[in-house]
């Protein structure tokens, strides 16, 4: 039985199939394709270079853009290059022209003095930086079984960058947060197409917003943010899912009570259970807004269905992250989870960063090899073997298994 793999193919190999379905989307006729490792169709996606500031990306949706990073990109460096960093927008009204001199960040609500800060004013605040993983709540949704509706991402709606900017706290302090503040709400320049639709806004508790870690970033890997990743400013919430990392951040509002609007109260909620999991079909469980990430690990130098050499050492490598803290250990199993080998961890770029790892599987025998990598984070949380499941396809965190054949 053939397995889905991340190999590239050309439309040409599908000629006979396409001849039967008629008209093709024009923008995909000549584009290379990629197979995502889902257990059922559709698995095929076009790769596109049509988006500004972006190299070859997996096209999940053109408008508003959903662009996924091919997994092989994570094999090249611990930081994900800006031009390969994933893109996810909720609404199609995205400004395509931003005047750096005219842009203002508004700070208002329960504050001593409302502010309207220019980029230059923000850049003169104490500069801070952090390496942190930005991961979509629905990363790997396409691997959920049973499958669930939503963007059918493989593992590439995540990336790791060095973020440079200023502490959110420093901005809030300039405005002077008044007593009684409960949450801080963030809004970007993007807008819904339809009037009356809920503008995309997210909120953090005031105590979280005032930690040293939450920042307003103006640079990513040393350069200004690509427009599609939120130029000119983006909230960075280390250890938390990227739904909070509001792009094109233009408005910060201090609230005197918990934010009750759609994107907090209805959307982006997960079962209030360990790992956000419930049984398929289960109902009546309490939910909470999604928040901290869970540990994950991925092999990056082999793809499902690859053929490897039997009887000689198999060098494997990949990336792991601890979720909301650092990586303590990564282990690999070449026998479907019966025995585990420790991996050697690469340079520590900080507790919220990807951590590269390497491990050699000594003598793979002829036949199918079931490779599993498992991260234990600094708080001792170990990736479970049991699958994550919830109806929104959020928070996948189980040990990933990848099959290759040794010959």
Partner 1 sequence: MTRILPLATVLAGLATTSAAEPMPFRSVTVELPMGDRSFPGGQEAEAINSNCLACHSAGMVLTQPRLTRTEWQAEIEKMIHAYKAPVDPSDIPKIVNYLTRMKVDGAEMTHQDVEAVRIQSAFGFEETLKRLRSALEVTGFTIFAVIDHRSAAQSVGLAMPPTTVLVFGNPRGGTPLMLAAPDFALELPLRVLVREDESGRALVVYNAAKTLDGKHDLPAGMAERLAPAGKVIAEAVSASAAAP
The least CB distance from residue 256 to partner 1, in Å, is 26
Letters for 326-365 (x = contact with partner 1 by CB under 8 A, - = none) are -----------------------xxx--------------
Among 78, 151, 378, 382, binds partner 1 (CB under 8 A): 151
Q: Is 66 in the site for partner 1 (CB under 8 A)?
A: yes
Applying CB under 8 A, does 61 fall inside the site for partner 1?
A: yes
Indicate the residue among 84 and 374 with the shorter CB distance to partner 1: 84
Closer CB to partner 1, 304 or 334, in the complex: 304
DSSP state for residue 82 in the 8-state scheme: G
Count of chain residues binding partner 1 (CB under 8 A): 85
- Under the binding rule (CB under 8 A), the answer on residue 15 touching partner 1 is no
How far is it, in rounded angstroms, from Cα 315 to Cα 300? 11
| Residue from the set 3, 32, 55, 62 that interacts with partner 1 by CB under 8 A | 62
Positive or negative torsion for Cα 305, 308, 311, 316: negative
* Residues in 34-53 at the binding interface with partner 1, rule: CB under 8 A: 38, 40-45, 48, 50-53
Give the DSSP H or E segment for 131.
Answer: strand 128-135
Q: Which residues contact 393 (CB under 8 A, 6 or more apart)?
A: 138, 141, 144, 148, 149, 150
Q: Considering the complex, what minimum distance in angstroms separates the CB of residue 50 from partner 1?
A: 5
Q: Is residue 237 close enough to count as binding partner 1 by CB under 8 A?
A: no
Q: What gap in Å lies between CA 334 and CA 373, rounded to an integer? A: 9
Q: 138 or 364, CB closer to partner 1?
A: 138
In this chain, which stretch among 148-156, 180-188, 275-283, 358-366 interacts with partner 1, using CB under 8 A?
148-156
State the pairing for strand pair 249-255/104-109.
Answer: parallel
Residues 180-209 that bind partner 1 (CB under 8 A): 192-198
For 40-52, letters b (16+ CB in 10 Å) and e give eeebbbbbbeebe
Stretch that binds partner 1, among 107-115, 259-267, 288-296, 308-316 (CB under 8 A): 259-267
Which one among 19, 113, 149, 274 touches partner 1, defined by CB under 8 A?
149
Rounded to the nearest whole angstrom, what is the least distance from the CB of residue 100 to partner 1 in the complex?
4
**Given the complex with partner 1, which of 142 and 318 has the nearer CB atom?**
142
Query: The tokens of 353 are what?
Result: 């960063």
Q: Is position 216 an interface residue for partner 1 (rule: CB under 8 A)?
A: no
Contact (CB, 8 A) for 397 and 384: yes
For partner 1, the binding residues in 101-120 under the rule CB under 8 A are: 101, 119-120
What number of CA atoms fall less than 13 Å from residue 8's CA on the CB side? 11
Q: Which two tokens stand for residue 159?
A: 């990336």
**DSSP code string of 139-182:** TTGGG-SS--SS----S-SEEEEEEEEEEHHHHHHHH-BPTT--
Of 260-279, which residues contact partner 1 (CB under 8 A)? Answer: 262, 266-267
Query: 71 or 110: whose CB is closer to partner 1?
Result: 71
Binding of partner 1 by 167 (CB under 8 A): yes
Angle at 325 between CA 320 and CA 328, to 5 degrees: 55
d(CA 258, CA 184): 9
CB nearer to partner 1: give 128 or 382. Answer: 128
- For residues 80 and 161, is the Cβ–Cβ distance under 8 A? yes
Nearer to partner 1, 139 or 383 (CB): 139
End-to-end Cα, the chain, rounded Å: 16
Block residue for tokens 């201090």: 254
Residue 59 Cβ vs partner 1, minimum distance, rounded to whole Å: 7
91 or 340, CB closer to partner 1?
Answer: 91
CB of 162 to partner 1, least distance (A): 9
- The verdict on 12 binding partner 1 (CB under 8 A) reads no
CA angle, 205 then 210 then 213, to 5°: 105
Residue 66 or 302 with smaller CB distance to partner 1:
66
């Amino acid at each position: 039985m053939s397995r889905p793999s991340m190999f590239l193919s050309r439309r040409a190999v599908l000629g006979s199939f396409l001849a039967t379905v008629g008209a093709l989307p024009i923008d995909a006729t000549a584009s290379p394709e990629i197979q995502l490792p889902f257990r059922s169709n559709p698995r095929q996606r076009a790769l596109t270079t049509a988006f500004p500031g972006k190299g070859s990306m997996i096209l999940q949706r053109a408008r508003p853009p959903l662009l996924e990073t091919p997994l092989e990109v994570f094999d090249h460096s611990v930081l994900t290059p800006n031009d390969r960093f994933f893109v996810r927008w909720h609404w199609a009204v995205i400004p395509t022209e931003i005047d750096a001199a005219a842009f203002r960040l508004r700070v208002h609500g329960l504050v001593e003095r409302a502010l309207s800060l220019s980029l230059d004013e923000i850049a003169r605040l104490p500069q801070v930086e952090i390496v942190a993983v930005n991961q979509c709540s629905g990363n790997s949704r396409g691997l959920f079984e049973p499958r669930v509706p939503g963007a059918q991402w493989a593992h590439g709606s995540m990336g790791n960058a060095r973020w440079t900017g200023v502490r959110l706290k420093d901005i809030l302090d300039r405005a002077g947060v008044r007593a009684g503040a409960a949450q801080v709400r963030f809004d970007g320049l993007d807008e819904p197409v339809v009037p009356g639709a809920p503008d995309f806004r997210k909120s953090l508790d005031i105590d979280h917003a005032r930690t040293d870690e939450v920042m307003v970033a103006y640079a990513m890997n040393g350069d200004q943010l690509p427009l599609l990743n939120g130029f000119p400013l983006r909230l960075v919430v280390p250890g938390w899912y990227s739904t909070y990392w509001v792009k094109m951040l233009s408005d910060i509002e201090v609230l005197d009570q918990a934010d009750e609007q759609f994107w907090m109260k209805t959307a982006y909620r997960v079962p209030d259970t360990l790992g956000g999991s419930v049984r398929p079909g289960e109902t009546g469980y309490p939910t909470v807004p999604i928040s901290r990430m869970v540990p994950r690990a991925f092999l990056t130098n082999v793809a499902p269905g690859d053929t490897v050499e039997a009887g000689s050492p198999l060098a494997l490598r990949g990336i792991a992250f601890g979720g909301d803290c650092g990586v303590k250990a990564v282990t690999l199993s070449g026998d479907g989870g019966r025995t585990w080998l420790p991996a050697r961890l690469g340079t520590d770029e900080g507790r919220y960063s990807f951590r590269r790892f390497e491990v050699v599987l000594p003598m793979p025998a002829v036949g199918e090899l079931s490779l599993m990598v498992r991260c234990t984070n600094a708080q001792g949380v170990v990736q479970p073997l049991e699958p994550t499941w919830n109806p929104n396809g959020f928070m996948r965190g189980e040990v990933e298994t990848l099959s290759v054949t040794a010959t």
